[in-house]
DNA sequence: AAGTCACTCAACCGCAGGACG
DNA sequence: GCGTCCTGCGGTTGAGTGACT
């Protein structure tokens, strides 16, 4: 698909805007309002692409925009939102009055990502890097090599060797980013499950929304995300069950997960093959799979995600209400 | 003082989807 | 249903700037 050029690019100015150009847009919008950006350059006397005019207005000239630096509260909100919905900057920006998606995106890429990495949190999954690396090793069968990643950065740690996120660190291996993403259900992870000092950030506490303690410390050996509902006990969603359980292998050969030295020697392709064959045979053998779903089947995984999605929606309406799924 | 590096952020690019004729 | 136009979005780029050597 794609769009035809909105203007003759050879004849339009590009690059930074001058005060004079800004003034022309402001003057035009003050009289005519926004809309029909393709005509605005001509009508406002600008040698710019309409798209460029729209961007200049929405990202810089709009009177409701803030131009000061992000507050800790705003940063906190961005991190929380990113953990829940990922890089949907426009949705996140809607939660921050006076901020544009470009602002949020830039701030994330230049500041927040680095802050998280310094704290040992993988900015993609929002999980401790050590946990991500261990999980990756379990997934890819690299568990035997260098299994002694430290949770805190040291001279030898991967965190000091690179500013990369965990999956960037894994870039040298055979697993694709997509595969990694698909196996990292980030919205169910609990960044508080870390040995890192999380100050000055205040991570999400599922029972009272904001955890305002100056530090948060607990063992990363727990691979379960504990979701506490206000009026209920904690429910544990052990995502590693899905990540590491092979529906074909006997359960007793899969019982060792994080922190263990045992890993599956199956490659991802092999796992996928097993998974597909199981799903196929399930389709033949079980007409009503919903009625008799097992805890770790493909359908149960999807069901679990949907269940948790509903659960989160019910828990955090203030945060999630406006996100258009 | 000059050169290099790292960082920031405004702006650009291309794709997707909705509206409309 | 199809094509065109417009807008929104996320990823990427590169000019400007400050820190460092």
pLDDT band of residue A216 (cuts 50, 70, 90) is: very low
Rounded CA-CA distance A238/A24 in Å is 57
pLDDT, position A43: 86
Span CA (A40) to C1' (B20), Å: 20
Residue A222 has pLDDT above 80, yes or no: no
Least Cα distance to A54 among A30, A90, A29, A31 occurs for A29
pLDDT, position A257: 32
Span CA (A261) to C1' (C20), Å: 44
Q: What is the pTM of this model?
A: 0.56
Looking up tokens 């996140």 gives A92
- In order, the DSSP letters of A207-234 are TTEE---S-----TT---EEEE-TTS-E
**For chain C, which bases have at least one atom within 7 A of a protein Cβ?**
5-12, 15-16
Residue A300 has pLDDT above 70, yes or no: no
pLDDT band of residue A10 (cuts 50, 70, 90) is: low
pLDDT, position A280: 36
Question: A136 burial class (0-12, 13-18, 19+ CB within 10 angstroms)?
Answer: buried
Three-state SS for A280? helix
CB under 7 Å from strand B: A 1-3, 9, 13-17, 48-49, 51-52, 55-56, 59-60, 69, 102-103, 105-107, 109-111, 114
| Over residues A201-219, mean pLDDT | 35
Rounded CA-CA distance A57/A40 in Å is 11
More confident residue, A303 or A47: A47
Domain topology for A69-118: Arc Repressor Mutant, subunit A (1.10.10)
Q: Which residues of A177-204 are buried (b: 16+ CB within 10 A; e: fewer)?
A: eebbeebbbbbbbbbbbbbbebeebbbb
- Extents of the domains making up chain A: 9-61, 69-118, 126-318
pLDDT, position A83: 86
pLDDT band of residue A311 (cuts 50, 70, 90) is: low
Span CA (A62) to C1' (B19), Å: 25
Rounded CA-CA distance A136/A116 in Å is 19
The tens digit of pLDDT for each residue in A52-95 reads 898 899 889 988 888 888 998 899 899 988 888 888 888 888 88
pLDDT, position A245: 36
Residue A305 has pLDDT above 80, yes or no: no
CATH 3.40.640.10 fits A9-61, yes or no: no
The tens digit of pLDDT for each residue in A239-289 reads 333 333 333 333 343 333 333 333 333 333 343 333 333 333 333 333 333
**In the beta sheet, which residues pair with residue A226?**
A236
Q: Do domains A9-61 and A69-118 have the same CATH topology?
A: yes
pLDDT, position A205: 38
């Amino acid at each position: 698909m794609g769009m035809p050029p909105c203007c003759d690019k050879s004849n339009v100015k590009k690059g930074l805007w001058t005060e004079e150009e800004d003034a022309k847009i402001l003057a035009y919008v003050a009289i005519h309002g926004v809309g029909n950006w393709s005509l605005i350059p001509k009508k406002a006397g600008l040698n710019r692409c309409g798209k460029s005019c729209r961007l200049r207005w929405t990202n810089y000239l709009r009177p409701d925009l803030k131009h000061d630096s992000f507050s800790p509260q705003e940063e906190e909100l961005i991190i929380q939102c990113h953990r829940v919905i990922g890089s949907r900057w426009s949705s996140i920006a809607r939660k921050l009055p006076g901020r544009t998606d470009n602002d949020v995106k830039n701030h994330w890429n230049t500041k927040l990502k680095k802050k998280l990495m310094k704290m040992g949190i993988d900015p993609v999954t929002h999980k401790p890097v050590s946990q991500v690396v261990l999980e990756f090793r379990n997934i890819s069968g690299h568990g035997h090599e260098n299994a002694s990643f430290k949770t805190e950065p040291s001279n030898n740690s991967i965190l000091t060797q690179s500013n990369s996120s965990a999956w960037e660190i894994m870039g040298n291996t055979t697993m694709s980013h997509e595969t990694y993403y698909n196996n990292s259900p980030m919205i169910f992870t609990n960044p508080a499950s870390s040995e890192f000092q999380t100050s000055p950030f205040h991570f999400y506490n599922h029972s009272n929304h904001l955890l305002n303690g100056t530090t948060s410390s607990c063992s990363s050996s727990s691979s379960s995300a504990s979701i506490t509902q206000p009026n209920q006990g904690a429910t544990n969603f052990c995502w590693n069950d899905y990540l590491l359980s092979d529906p074909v292998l006997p359960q007793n050969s899969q019982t060792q997960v994080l922190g263990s030295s045992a890993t599956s020697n199956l490659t991802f392709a092999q796992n996928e093959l097993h998974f597909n064959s199981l799903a196929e045979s399930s389709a033949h053998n079980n007409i009503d799979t919903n009625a008799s779903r097992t805890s770790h089947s493909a359908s149960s995984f999807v069901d679990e995600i949907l269940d948790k999605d509903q659960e989160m929606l019910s828990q955090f309406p203030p945060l999630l209400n406006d996100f258009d799924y």
